[in-house]
Amino acid sequence: MANLNPFAAWRRLLALPNESRTKTVAIAFLVSAICALFVSGATVVLRPIQTANRAAEQQARLETLIAGIPGMSDLLAQSGGTLSTVVIDLTKGAVAEIAPADLTTALQDSSNWTGLTAAQDTAGLGQRPNFAQVYFLRGPDGNLSLALLPITGDGYNGPIDAILALRADTQTIAGLAITNQSETPGLGARIEEPAWLSQFGGKTALDASGAPRFAVAKGTAGSEYEVDGITGATRTSNAITRIMRFWLGDDGYGPLLAAIRRGAF
């Protein structure tokens, strides 16, 4: 009768000549099984630390991005707190089930874009993505203090990209940073000047009903909704008004702003 004692079986296996088929297969199996256990163990044990590292790296990149925008870093320094990146479903005004890293891939799919009619399309976009990446700044108590909303639209010479910072009441503008523009140097390009951008802080973007009222004035600002126009750059000034109104309106961040007012964030 065969000896079923595992130790004896193990000794018998080791005693086999190295070139025997049984031993070759058994050694190959044992080595790969032990290595597989070892590798999977290390991966599983270390995964939480690696995930935390990646998240920290993304946060650092975001902070460099924001710090590179003139004006925004001061704004963040005043407000304090932590910055987080969120992908928003613009139609629902809620958090989308897409990781920020996957957004670029998602937006390559034309089904994730919405066409705009001429009446809707005040910013001259043609179509609008259904998802947008926004940044929320939260105070030490976890409450939302700033929402940083990337906005874009057609200027006089080309697209204008900007980041609009809104206070938690969604009505007060905390600041605007132009990230990309190709307006006429000396005229429209003055939208980049800190002196002009500094007027935005404290202005009111929406009226009490939530409708966008912000405008770049023709000349000197006459109300809490207006900033001074830029002399000689009427079209660029108008473009800023249109872009701001589009993105603050129902086809832009309107649903998101409504959700923030309801306290959903």
Partner 1 sequence: MPASPSLWQVLTAPLIRQNPVTLQILGICSALAVTTSMATALTMSAALTATLVMSAGTISLIRRHIPDSIRLIVQIVIVASLVIVIDQVLQAYLFDISQKLSVFVSLITTNCLVLGRTESFSRHNPPLRSMVDALGNGLGYSLVLTVIGAVREFFGAGALLGWQVLPTIDQGGWYTPLNLMLLAPSAFFLLGGLVWAIRTALPDQSEPLEYLAPDAQGGKE
Q: Which of 9, 31, 67, 211 binds partner 1 (CB under 8 A)?
A: 31
Q: Write out the two tokens for 19.
A: 């070139």
136: three-class secondary structure by DSSP: strand
Q: Which of 8, 9, 39, 211 binds partner 1 (CB under 8 A)?
A: 39
Q: How far is the CB of 54 from partner 1 (least distance, A)?
A: 8
Cα–Cα nearest to 154, from 122, 185, 196, 177: 122
Q: Which of 8, 9, 42, 264 binds partner 1 (CB under 8 A)?
A: 42
Q: How far is the CB of 61 from partner 1 (least distance, A)?
A: 12
Show the site string, 123-142: x = touches partner 1 by CB under 8 A, - = not. --------------------
- Backbone angles phi and psi of 211, in degrees to 5: -85, 140
Query: Measured between alpha carbons, how far is 201 from 166 in angstroms, rounded to an integer?
Result: 9
261 lies in the binding site for partner 1 (CB under 8 A): no
In the complex with partner 1, the residue whose CB is nearer, 4 or 49, is: 49
Q: Which of 3, 32, 114, 223 binds partner 1 (CB under 8 A)?
A: 32
Beta strand segments in the chain, E:
82-89, 94-95, 113-115, 127-129, 131-138, 144-154, 159-167, 173-180, 215-216, 226-227
Per the CB < 8 A criterion, the answer to whether 226 and 102 are in contact is no
58 lies in the binding site for partner 1 (CB under 8 A): no
CA angle 163, 167, 171 (to 5 degrees): 95
In the complex with partner 1, the residue whose CB is nearer, 45 or 77, is: 45
Query: Measured between alpha carbons, how far is 161 from 182 in angstroms, rounded to an integer?
Result: 10
Paired with 127 in beta bridges are 115
Which residues, 6 or more positions from 230, have their beta carbon under 8 angstroms from its beta carbon? 187, 188, 190, 191, 196, 216, 236, 237
Q: Write out the two tokens for 65.
A: 């991005």
In the complex with partner 1, the residue whose CB is nearer, 25 or 264, is: 25
23 lies in the binding site for partner 1 (CB under 8 A): yes
63 lies in the binding site for partner 1 (CB under 8 A): no
Q: How far is the CB of 56 from partner 1 (least distance, A)?
A: 8
In the complex with partner 1, the residue whose CB is nearer, 38 or 68, is: 38
Q: Which of 3, 38, 68, 78 binds partner 1 (CB under 8 A)?
A: 38
Chain positions 2 to 21 lying near partner 1, rule: CB under 8 A, are 14, 18-19
Residues in touch with partner 1 (CB under 8 A): 14, 18-19, 23-24, 27-28, 31-32, 35-36, 38-39, 42-43, 46, 49-50, 53, 56-57
